[in-house]
Amino acid sequence: NYPERVLIKEVGPRDGLQNEKVFLPTQTKIDWINQLSKTGLSYIEITSFVNPKWIPALSDCYEVAKGITREPGVTYAALVPNMKGLEKALLADVDEVAVFMSASDTHNKKNINKSIEETFPVLEETIREAKASGKKVRGYLSTVFGCPYEGHVSPEQAEKVTTKLLEMGVYEVSLGDTIGVGNPRQVESNLNQWTASIPKENLALHFHNTRGMALANTLVGMSAGITTIDGSLGGLGGCPYAKGASGNLATDDLIHMLSEMGIDSGIDLGSLVNAGHFIETSLEKPLISHQMEIARAQ
């Protein structure tokens, strides 16, 4: 049983680029996002308003957000970890913000320098102020299927933090398999457990493809009724504060699978692949997805 339509959230300009060692020029980022805006994508996470010492690759967050051409019907979102990030994101007038934390305490500390308990009040204030300024707030929960430092993460722990994020006012929690350790059986059983208390409409899936499981896990997630899926064009990306994190589920490979299955995403694969070609040329390294490989071979 699969959904008729899936909402894809493209996180390439944020999750994809945050890990890059070479600083991609601001204008190149802007040009790429402008191309992505014309592919039929309705949601693009464009950057991250975090400490530039932590994520130098996205230190031009404000300039990128101000510089892009906003297409009607496209939501332009950005990550914010705290009030300082939110204030800057509001100045840049992004459409929507996303707060983030982890299900495991060690990854939470390595990534945002606080324990889980210390993070709640920071995010609570950030969410409240964002909503008071008229912005919708998405939530990310990392390491839900396993942590690079702690290993196993219990479904109960992930459920507890997801519920708390929703209570604090995010409209959706994107469940992150940060280092790509989840497997389809685990995804199925955890989702069954979580959706007993959490509405499916409030959940999204965010798989990294470290071990080639992202598409299989996504399929299981869709059959469990989740219809919002994060992807990164060409499989670009990874969290710099999770050893072994590699790129996300490739948006282009996902769209290919969906269209073969007759599931609508509203996105044009050909224009997406063209945008992929632009960014791989700019980064001077080939994107690793199947669709990009096929395109290069033609």
Binding site for ligand HMG (CB under 6 A): 15, 18, 48-51, 54-55, 81-82, 84-85, 100, 111-113, 140, 142, 176, 178, 206, 208, 239, 241
d(CA 26, CA 32): 10
Q: Whose Cβ is closer to Mg ion: residue 31's or residue 81's?
A: 81
d(CA 144, CA 182): 9
Residue 205: name the closest of 5, 12, 6 by CA. 6
Closest residue to bound ligand HMG by CB: 176
> Least distance from C-beta 76 to ligand HMG, angstroms?
17
The one of ligand HMG, Mg ion, none whose footprint includes residue 35, by CB under 5 to 8 A per kind, is none
**Residue 23, CA atoms < 13 Å, CB-side half-sphere:** 11
The one of Mg ion, ligand HMG, none whose footprint includes residue 190, by CB under 5 to 8 A per kind, is none
Q: Which of 11, 30, 65, 239 is catalytic?
A: 239
The one of Mg ion, ligand HMG, none whose footprint includes residue 31, by CB under 5 to 8 A per kind, is none
> Least distance from C-beta 18 to ligand HMG, angstroms?
6
Decide if 155 contacts 187 (C-beta within 8 A).
no
> Least distance from C-beta 149 to ligand HMG, angstroms?
13
Angle, CA of 260, 256 and 75, to the nearest 5°: 120
# residues contacting Mg ion (CB under 5 A): 1
SS3 sequence, 213-253? CHHHHHHHHHHCCCCEEEEEHHHCCCCCCCCCCCCECEHHH
> Least distance from C-beta 34 to ligand HMG, angstroms?
23
Region 5-24 residues binding Mg ion, contact defined as CB under 5 A: 15
Query: Which string of DSSP letters, residue by residue, matches 138-172?
Result: EEEEE-SS-BTTTB---HHHHHHHHHHHHHHT-SE
Read off φ and ψ for residue 201, nearest 5 degrees.
-65, -20
Cβ neighbours for 203, distance < 8 A, ≥ 6 positions apart:
162, 172, 173, 174, 175, 191, 194, 195, 226, 228
134 burial level (CB within 10 Å; 0-12, 13-18, 19+): exposed
Q: Whose Cβ is closer to Mg ion: residue 44's or residue 295's?
A: 44
> Least distance from C-beta 17 to Mg ion, angstroms?
12
Q: Whose Cβ is closer to ligand HMG: residue 48's or residue 157's?
A: 48
d(CA 50, CA 14): 11
The one of ligand HMG, Mg ion, none whose footprint includes residue 50, by CB under 5 to 8 A per kind, is ligand HMG
Q: Whose Cβ is closer to ligand HMG: residue 142's or residue 227's?
A: 142
Annotated catalytic, 61?
A: no
Q: Whose Cβ is closer to Mg ion: residue 213's or residue 295's?
A: 213
The one of ligand HMG, Mg ion, none whose footprint includes residue 82, by CB under 5 to 8 A per kind, is ligand HMG
Footprint of Mg ion on this chain (CB under 5 A)?
15
Active site residues per annotation: 239
